[in-house]
Amino acid sequence: MTIDRMQPEDLDDVMAIEARSFSTPWTEEMFKSELWGKTLSENLVARAVSVPGARTQVVGYTCLWIVGEELHINNIAIHPRYRRQGVAKSLLSFAFDLAKRRGARKALLEVRVSNTTAQALYQRLGFRVVGRRHQYYTSPVEDALVMAKDDL
Ligand SMILES: CC(C)(COP(=O)(O)OP(=O)(O)OC[C@H]1O[C@@H](n2cnc3c(N)ncnc32)[C@H](O)[C@@H]1OP(=O)(O)O)[C@@H](O)C(=O)NCCC(=O)NCCS
């Protein structure tokens, strides 16, 4: 597996994973605005390495903002077939290193209260619950837990 920056030609693969991962998936416009609209934004993809010369397959991605001392993890999803193989852990470790080099010291994110799988990932990586946002999500309406990691 390799990790590098998301390219416009990755969008079809990314959107397909997004659609299989969330009840309210990001739209193409939302991804495009991250890719082209914001200087704070960093978007990483993990690719499965195949034979030389063949098209690589996007197996996961994360969309981030690096804002001063904070890394914001705005989105992360892994293709269902590639889950539980360390892809998210690798993407986030890469993100932590990148953010640290830019001066970030802590990471923050929101996660649905019911998404215990993602919470297990974040806890494993050193995040702790630091707050709760009432009815933050729609479809279904649900609270968000705010999680933070202080020691990037
Ligand atoms: C949450 C998600 C990103 C995890 O991706 P992943 O590549 O499967 O995670 P990893 O393989 O890197 O897991 C790293 C650690 O997280 C924890 N973890 C991940 N999936 C887990 C699961 N299903 N159950 C329990 N713990 C889990 C484990 O501690 C795991 O380490 P281990 O496998 O050595 O035990 C993935 O399940 C996904 O895409 N879900 C749908 C989208 C989503 O919910 N995104 C998060 C929005 S806030």
**Domain architecture of the chain: domains with CATH:** 2-106 (3.40.630.30)
DSSP 124: H
For ligand 1, atom 48, the nearest C-alpha belongs to 111
Residue 134, φ and ψ in degrees, nearest 5: -65, 130
Residue among 78, 87, 96, 119 to mutate when testing ligand 1 (max atoms within 8 A of CB):
78
Nearest to 66 by CA among 47, 87, 32, 94: 94
Q: What is the pLDDT along the chain (152 residues), one digit of tens a residue?
A: 999 999 999 999 999 999 999 999 999 999 999 998 778 999 999 999 776 776 778 999 999 999 999 999 999 999 999 999 999 999 999 999 999 999 999 999 999 999 999 999 999 999 999 999 999 999 999 999 999 999 89
Please indicate whether residue 18 is annotated as part of the active site.
no
C-beta 81 within 6 A of ligand 1: no
Alpha-helix runs per DSSP H in the chain: 11-21, 28-36, 87-101, 116-124
Please indicate whether residue 42 is annotated as part of the active site.
no
Element (H, E) at 87: helix 87-101
Nearest to 1 by CA among 71, 93, 68: 93
- Model pTM? 0.96
C-beta 123 within 6 A of ligand 1: no
What is the C-alpha separation between 30 and 40, in angstroms, rounded?
Answer: 15
Sign of CA dihedral 81, 85, 89, 91: negative
